[in-house]
Amino acid sequence: MLFNLFFEVIEWVGPSNVFHIVTDNVANYVAAGVASRASKVTIFVYNHMTLLAWLRKKEGWKEIVRPGVTRFATTFITLKIIHDHKHHLQKESCPLL
């Protein structure tokens, strides 16, 4: 839902006019369990080198950002990247799982 809202705003003002979008909704993500699941997906992908090598060969693949000190910003970026590559991360499309 937030992605769609941000996307509309960015399209309205123009992508070249947007430098950063910063949110402080970590508590909301944690309450929903989304950040926890995204963290588990990130850990799983980076702990399985064969899977990671296979994903890196996919067209348009971007590295999943690992949450760090500025967690409120990286959580949103991580969720977006996982959503973008959902089809690659699903068991049906990955021959390694």
Q: What is the domain partition of the chain in residue ranges?
A: 23-97
pLDDT of residue 23: 67
Segment 45-51 shows an average pLDDT of 86
pLDDT of residue 32: 59
**Residue 36: pLDDT band by 50, 70, 90 thresholds?**
confident
pLDDT tens digits, one per residue of 54-71? 888 888 887 776 555 455
Q: Are 64 and 45 in contact (CB under 8 A)?
A: yes
Residues 6+ apart with CB under 8 A from 19: none
Calpha distance 80→65 (Å, rounded): 10
Tokens of 34: 């989304």
On the question of pLDDT at 86 being above 80, the answer is yes
